[in-house]
Amino acid sequence: MIALATPFESAPLTPTVGTPRRRRRGRPVLPGFGTTAAVTSLVVISLVVIPLTVLVARAASLGPAGFLTAAWTPRARAAYGVSLGASTLAAIASTLFGLVVAWVLARVPFRGRRLLDAFVDVPLALPTAVAGLVYSALYVKQGWLGAWLVPLGVQGAYSYLGIVLVLVFVSLPFTVRVVQPVIESLDRDAEEAALILGASGGQTFRRVIAPAIAPAVVTGFAMALARSLGEYGSVVFISGNMPFKTEIAPVLIVARLEEFAYAEATAIAVVLLALSLALLVVINVLQYRLARSAAGGAS
Amino acid sequence: MSLYLRDISKSFGTFRALDRVSLDVHDGGLVALLGPSGSGKTTLLRIIAGLEFPDEGLIEEDGADITQTHARQRGVGFVFQHYALFRHMSVFENVAFGLRVRKVPRAEVTARVEELLRLVRLDGLGGRKPAQLSGGQRQRVALARALAVRPKMLLLDEPFGALDAKVRVELRQWLRRLHDEIGMTSVFVTHDQEEAFELADEVVVMNHGRVEQRGSPTEVFDRPATSFVMDFLGAVNVFHGRVENGRAYWHGIPIDYPEYPHAQAREARVYLRPHELELTADTGEARHDTTSLPASVLRVIRSGAITRVACRPHGSDTELQVDVATEQAGMLALAPGRHVAIKPRRARVFLPGPEYTI
Amino acid sequence: MSMASTSPRRAAVRRTSALDGLLVAAAIGVVALFIVVPLVYVFHAALADGVRGWWAALVRDPDTRHAIWLSLTVAPVAVAINVVFGIAAAWLVARFRFPGRSLLVSLFDVPFSVSPVVAGLALVLIFGRQGLLGPTLAWLDWKVIFAWPGLVIATTFVTLPLVVRELIPVMEATGPDEELAAVTLGASGWQVFTRVTLPNIRWALLHGIVLANARALGEFGAVYVVSGHIAGATDTMPLRVEKLFQEYRTPASMALASVLAGLALVSLVAKFVIERQIAAEHRDLEAVRTTGDAA
């Protein structure tokens, strides 16, 4: 059709008769809204909202001064330091290792790749207590790994290093599995174009690949950090739990609980909670951005 | 079963999908809801089915008010655009579903399902799963499934939209024969004009949530009520012109238009269908013929039996499409640059504001 | 989690194979060091006293027997609660739109990010003797903390997101059309759910169950806080492992740890099999969605 001007608005054909009857917005067509809403709310409120609210309320009842006294003792500060420090180191290491593993799984065909892929999920299924137990057994002087590490001066068990090692274990699946699909769906055309234009492998990686996978890598780091901050079961076995040296915040909370020092335990728990929730928000934002760039970008 | 809709309105947030739409469907009719995306046709269909509820308005079925009746109780058969076959069930179980949920005895279920599979020419495929069927076959399963529970009305949402062109044509004809055979009141939604015209007894043209016109295919094509209808159904050339004294003037050429007998000239839009324009060789005489317009050929595109000729009237930089039979194009030796004379056989005029229609 | 990619690719743009070899070696090294070696070690250490010794450590000790029994009763109950919750929540979120929906979805993720110890503490603050409901529970003579119900609640909390997060994507991907079709054909709510929805989500549901079960068996921090760690009464398997470790009974500890590790491996195999099924069904789903004639 060859149109030359914008169409005029056409008037309705039939004049309206009768009174339109106004109704409320219709009810859902699919059944089950009421039941599922009730069950879901019940569970979420009683299991998530109320417990955490009670926790925060209890901490708040200390008053700002009381809270600070409880949450900011020297030992607590040391515990935060150990938690944050070890978690960050572990997250960095885990991200690097995870990137290598993800790359290899996604790009390099080799015999046994499927097996390697299957092992990556082990930390998700293995109880953390088992991990902690085994790591401490491995890295002591008599252990399989300690036997040649300890003489070299590397103390894996009952040390800060031990914490980092075990946190790498628990966070590895996250750093691998977030990055792996992104690498798998990279646009090969862009890389080939770069090579044809004369870029070296390293340049191609730096300029074409790295920017594409950066969001996933950062997301993986954040998830590893979040996972590590809250970890308790494995660290308890391997750190030696020495206050001011290798005591992480969760361990301190438990110690205070066992002394019935509820106020202090609650205060420290709230600090940890705030940190975790902040990280949760960051991760959600990162994942949202990741999904957006995957939809609009290189796949 | 007859259906009566009055002043149906529906909004989604701030988007007004339907604006006081009224519709009658008589018993046994095959009605097409035709319009572009966003015209509200699918929303209207879903409201008839009970898959949406209108914000305002009335729906009556055989005299009974069913506006708030739940979809489950409406007794309509609905065929979804992407068939919505139960992918973990066999073809047989898909078709039997409506019967099974009504606890129909097994023997009766088997008999009915087999009858339907024969009807839709899928007998023998009862054991297959949807993933093993072609698009056309899935469509027929969806139809059989909807028909199994003897609905009072059949509703189809873009039934052939997802199929290849050839399959579409075949299924169209098949559906028309089926409708004639079983005589069930049916309403279907489409954006394809050809489909609506070939299948339906009655076409309802919709736009922006309103009904532009309803009538038989011939009626809406030959006597479009609004400029939208004319524009939507088939190619059309649109020009500025004016009306005065019972005539419409297009590039100076007068066309009878008794609907506007007034002396005061008014701007109008003149709609000309490409096949309602005559093309003759410009032999110099045409310059003096006030009923034809001299033009030059810009492009000639042969499209099977029809040749589309793009022309530019002399003294103007507008473009005009004329459809001529390919034979005639050959006889006129049409080629870019050729001088021709264009004569309108028929035109329609639409005035701005409240529409005066022909 | 995804299998190694097997989609057809052009001959990849590859750097020198020496680098590739190095990367493969590094990857294998990392996984071997952090994952494989520990896994091998736990079985090795568990069998240090031979199979007899392993069996004796598990079966002779009444506290250890109790711990096994306790884990095997707490975990399934927590998983069952989460299955009911997961199905209800996924149906709600995937099939309806309502104010507060996004907030609700983000609440599902909270148990993932909160430290289990913090979760356990919160529960103690509610159900403990000095907690919110402490006096009420004492009056009713119901024990929650330091007792089985507390363990179930704590375990349910930490596994809460696992089933729901599996089901929501599947239900959103398949869309409501099949269920709407069932409604137009006259099916009741329950019929729609059992005949149409459940078959479509069964593999995702199983996947969630396997993950939730593995997590439930292995949960330590939250259960530690809530259980009071009373041997022979409220020690689950992981807690028992820790207690044996504290008592320097390493072989016994390793024996129980090997049972947990074995269960973890079973979970992983189940997970792998289910993921293959899901991938196969995903292919079928794409086939049904394809326009035009497929066959």
Sign for the pseudo-dihedral over CA of C109, C112, C118, C124:
positive
Which subunits count as partners of chain A given 3+ CB pairs below 8 Å? Answer: B, C
Nearest chain B Cα to A8, which residue? B352
pLDDT band at residue B285 under the 50/70/90 scheme: low
At B57 the three-state DSSP class reads strand
N-to-C CA span, chain C: 31
Mean pLDDT of B339-354: 79
Is C169 part of any domain?
Answer: yes
The yes/no answer on whether domain B237-350 falls in CATH 2.102.10.10 is no
Nearest-angstrom CA–CA distance, A170 and A124? 7
Position B160 scores a pLDDT of 87
pLDDT band at residue B342 under the 50/70/90 scheme: confident
The answer to whether A28 contacts chain B (CB < 8 Å) is no
> Taking CB atoms and an 8 Å limit, are A130 and C1 in contact across chains?
no
Which subunits count as partners of chain C given 3+ CB pairs below 8 Å? Answer: A, B
What are the pLDDT digits (tens) for A114-143?
Answer: 889 999 999 999 999 999 999 999 999 899
> Taking CB atoms and an 8 Å limit, are C195 and B86 in contact across chains?
yes
Residues of B whose CB is below 8 A from C185: 97-98, 101, 145-146, 148-149
- Give the best residue of A10, A17, A24, A30 to mutate against chain B (max B CB count within 10 A): A10
The answer to whether C85 contacts chain A (CB < 8 Å) is yes
Nearest chain C Cα to B164, which residue? C292
At C155 the three-state DSSP class reads helix
- Give the best residue of A46, A103, A130, A268 to mutate against chain C (max C CB count within 10 A): A130
pLDDT at B357 over 50: no
pLDDT at A19 over 60: no
Nearest-angstrom CA–CA distance, B129 and C199? 14
- Are B135 and B162 in contact by the 8 Å Cβ rule? The answer is yes
Size of interface B-C (CB pairs under 8 A): 94
Is C279 part of any domain?
Answer: yes
pLDDT band at residue B293 under the 50/70/90 scheme: confident
Nearest-angstrom CA–CA distance, B285 and B213? 42
> Taking CB atoms and an 8 Å limit, are B52 and A29 in contact across chains?
yes
Nearest-angstrom CA–CA distance, A146 and A159? 13
Quote the minimal CA–CA distance from C277 to chain A in Å.
16
CB-nearest partner of B130 from C181, C191, C288: C288
What are the pLDDT digits (tens) for B1-39?
Answer: 888 999 999 999 899 999 999 999 988 899 999 999 889
Residues of B whose CB is below 8 A from A16: 7, 20, 22
Is C235 part of any domain?
Answer: yes
CB-nearest partner of A29 from B51, B238, B269: B51
* Domain ranges, ordered by start, for chain B: 3-232, 237-350
> Taking CB atoms and an 8 Å limit, are B85 and C187 in contact across chains?
no
Residues of A whose CB is below 8 A from C219: 127, 233
pLDDT at B79 over 60: yes
pLDDT at B340 over 90: no
Q: What is the CATH number of the domain that holds C144?
A: 1.10.3720.10
The answer to whether B209 contacts chain A (CB < 8 Å) is no
pLDDT at A15 over 70: no
Is C26 part of any domain?
Answer: no
> Taking CB atoms and an 8 Å limit, are B55 and A11 in contact across chains?
no
Quote the minimal CA–CA distance from B78 to chain C in Å.
7
What are the pLDDT digits (tens) for C80-100?
Answer: 999 999 999 999 999 999 999
Position A294 scores a pLDDT of 67
In sequence order, the β-bridge partners of residue B348 are B271
pLDDT band at residue C258 under the 50/70/90 scheme: very high
Position A5 scores a pLDDT of 31
Nearest-angstrom CA–CA distance, B78 and B146? 6
Is C28 part of any domain?
Answer: no
Residue B137 makes CB contacts below 8 A (sequence gap 6+) with B122, B125, C295
Nearest-angstrom CA–CA distance, C58 and C53? 9
The answer to whether A27 contacts chain B (CB < 8 Å) is yes
Residues in chain A: 299
CB-nearest partner of A126 from C13, C114, C264: C264
pLDDT band at residue C156 under the 50/70/90 scheme: very high
At C12 the three-state DSSP class reads coil
The answer to whether A117 contacts chain C (CB < 8 Å) is yes
The answer to whether B50 contacts chain C (CB < 8 Å) is yes
The answer to whether C286 contacts chain B (CB < 8 Å) is no
Estimate to the nearest angstrom the gap between the alpha carbon of A117 and the chain centroid. Answer: 20
Structure tokens at B140: 């027929």
The domains located in chain A, with CATH, are: 46-296 (1.10.3720.10)
The answer to whether B267 contacts chain A (CB < 8 Å) is no
What are the pLDDT digits (tens) for A202-259?
Answer: 888 888 888 889 889 999 999 999 999 999 999 999 998 889 989 999 999 999 988 8
Residue A15 burial (CB count, 10 A):
6
Nearest-angstrom CA–CA distance, C105 and C103? 5
pLDDT band at residue C289 under the 50/70/90 scheme: low
At B92 the three-state DSSP class reads helix
More confident residue, A298 or B185: B185
Mean pLDDT of B282-289: 64
Q: Which domain holds residue C265?
A: 51-287
Could you tell me the fold of the domain covering B3-232?
Rossmann fold (3.40.50)
Residue C39 burial (CB count, 10 A):
19
CB-nearest partner of B72 from C178, C183, C195: C183
> Taking CB atoms and an 8 Å limit, are C130 and A262 in contact across chains?
yes
What are the pLDDT digits (tens) for B103-141?
Answer: 999 999 999 999 999 988 898 999 999 989 998 899 999
Quote the minimal CA–CA distance from B295 to chain A in Å.
16
What are the pLDDT digits (tens) for A162-182?
Answer: 999 999 999 999 999 999 999
Is C243 part of any domain?
Answer: yes
- Give the best residue of B4, B5, B7, B16 to mutate against chain A (max A CB count within 10 A): B7
- Are B96 and B148 in contact by the 8 Å Cβ rule? The answer is yes
Residues of B whose CB is below 8 A from A17: 6
pLDDT at C272 over 60: yes
Q: How many domains does chain C have?
A: 1
> Taking CB atoms and an 8 Å limit, are B101 and C199 in contact across chains?
no
ipTM for this prediction: 0.86
What are the pLDDT digits (tens) for C55-79?
Answer: 998 999 999 999 999 999 999 999 9
Residues of B whose CB is below 8 A from A10: 207, 212, 226-229, 355
> Taking CB atoms and an 8 Å limit, are C284 and B131 in contact across chains?
yes
Residues of B whose CB is below 8 A from A23: 53-56, 67-68
> Taking CB atoms and an 8 Å limit, are C214 and A129 in contact across chains?
no
Tell me which residue has tokens 């990619």: C5
Structure tokens at C49: 């006293």
Residue A299 burial (CB count, 10 A):
13
Residues 238 to 257 of C: which have CB under 8 A from any A CB? Answer: 238-239, 241-242, 245, 250, 253-254, 257
Nearest-angstrom CA–CA distance, B227 and C4? 58
Mean of the per-residue pLDDT values of chain A: 86
Residues of A whose CB is below 8 A from B234: 1
What are the pLDDT digits (tens) for C233-257?
Answer: 789 999 999 999 999 999 999 999 9
The answer to whether B131 contacts chain C (CB < 8 Å) is yes
pLDDT at A76 over 80: yes
> Taking CB atoms and an 8 Å limit, are A7 and B228 in contact across chains?
yes
Residues of B whose CB is below 8 A from C285: 87
pLDDT band at residue A4 under the 50/70/90 scheme: very low
> Taking CB atoms and an 8 Å limit, are A10 and B319 in contact across chains?
no
Residues of A whose CB is below 8 A from B9: 20
CB burial of residue C38 (10 Å; 0-12, 13-18, 19+): buried
What are the pLDDT digits (tens) for C180-222?
Answer: 999 999 999 999 999 999 999 999 999 999 999 999 999 999 9
Residues 159 to 178 of C: which have CB under 8 A from any B CB? Answer: 177-178
Mean of the per-residue pLDDT values of chain C: 88
- Are B91 and C248 in contact by the 8 Å Cβ rule? The answer is no
State phi, psi for B26 to the nearest 5 degrees: -85, 165
pLDDT at B253 over 90: no
Position B255 scores a pLDDT of 78
User: Identical fold at B3-232 and B237-350?
Assistant: no
Residues of C whose CB is below 8 A from A201: 15-16, 19
